[in-house]
Amino acid sequence: MTGNKVNLLGLDRNELEAFFASLGEKRFRAEQVMKWIYHEGVTDIDAMTNLSKSLREQLCSMAEIRPPDVVLDQGSQDGSRKWLIRLDNGNCVETVFIPDEGRGTLCVSSQIGCPLDCSFCATAQQGFNRNLNVAEIIGQVWQAHWLLGGGRNGDRLLTNVVLMGMGEPLLNFNNVVRATNLMQDDLAFGLSKRRVTLSTAGVVPALYRLREVSDVSLAVSLHAPNDELRNELVPLNRKYPIAQMLEACRHYIAGKLQRSITWEYVMLDGVNDSVAHALALVKLLKGIPSKVNLIPFNPFPNATYRRSSPATIDRFRNVLLAGGMTTITRKTRGDDINAACGQLAGQVQNRRRRGPRAVQSMEQVR
């Protein structure tokens, strides 16, 4: 932290306009500054040459552009990259870039740790410290975009963002909505709504609110076709059981053209991967425009699960396909640097608050 300076990274167009209005400046200053920050990668206010010298001086005294620090940059054999991003008080989160044919997806964190306590996820073992603010969320995209070269010659590498890193994005509702809107703003990264995906374990009231304020694509961590099993894997299900969650998801896409829900389903050997589970899944999702993403379980230290065999995953997928469901098996990427789904750990200090009670208290603060 540098004194009490306002961090202009993370203010959206309206907030920046209000900021300049409060200085007696024209609103278009917001546009100029956003272009410097997001299109030119400039963090030095003095380099913003289309602002008058006196305005630059005034800004320097009260504002700054402060992205979070990247403290470790690891490359995987498969071309994925993982960055460790340092926040305050020794806390760190991880951000992962996954290049694939014709696109590059950035997996962004929304919380330091996670309070949800899913039994098969490494982040859960870390406990929870706090929500990320807007600058820390958009700052991950900013850092990755510029570390990847910024795409100056039209060869932009970063084309998609998924909120699938550490944390439950819908428990950090306001900051996540503001950050995703900023990702979609032409004055920032201009990503289309199809290219920004929020993944949630299913915080039902927040799903209803999300529809009102955002147009991101939705992925939901389902992982089980019945409440009994899902209660065990995703404890949040005890608070918001499957039927309620599905209803909220139907509502989210209702009336939107060509939108479907992506269901994430981690393949755990002998736990949720039988033909009976697959048949139950087909029945459960009948009538909801859906894509199913099967995720082979990624191991981490002290994990009590094993990955389903390739043959079991294929058998499961074939049942879904035969049931008319679009299904893909997610490729495991970046596992040599612990960057695959569910392997992100970061550094979480003062671990506290986990489980359904933590969720309740977080919902109350919102």
Binding stretches for ligand SAH (CB under 6 A): 116, 118, 120-121, 164, 168, 199-201, 221, 264, 266, 295, 297-298, 341-342
Considering the complex, what minimum distance in angstroms separates the CB of residue 222 from ligand SAH?
A: 8
341 is catalytic: yes
Closer of 118 and 161 to ligand SAH (Cβ): 118
Catalytic residue, chosen from 17, 92, 94, 118, is 94
**In whole angstroms, what is the distance from residue 200 CA to residue 158 CA?**
22
Judged by beta carbon, residue 68 or residue 296, the one nearer ligand SAH is 296
Nearer to ligand SAH, 59 or 164 (CB): 164
Q: Among this protein's residues, is 121 annotated catalytic?
A: no
- Considering the complex, what minimum distance in angstroms separates the CB of residue 243 from ligand SAH? 18
Rounded least distance, CB 266 to ligand SAH, Å: 4
Residue 65 or 93 with smaller CB distance to ligand SAH: 93
The smaller minimum CB distance to ligand SAH, of residues 61 and 174, is found at 174
CB of residue 113 to ligand SAH, shortest distance in Å: 11
Rounded-to-integer distance, Cα 294 and Cα 109, Å? 21
Closest separation between CB of residue 39 and ligand SAH, Å?
29
Active-site pick, 107, 114, 249, 341: 341
Catalytic positions: 94, 341
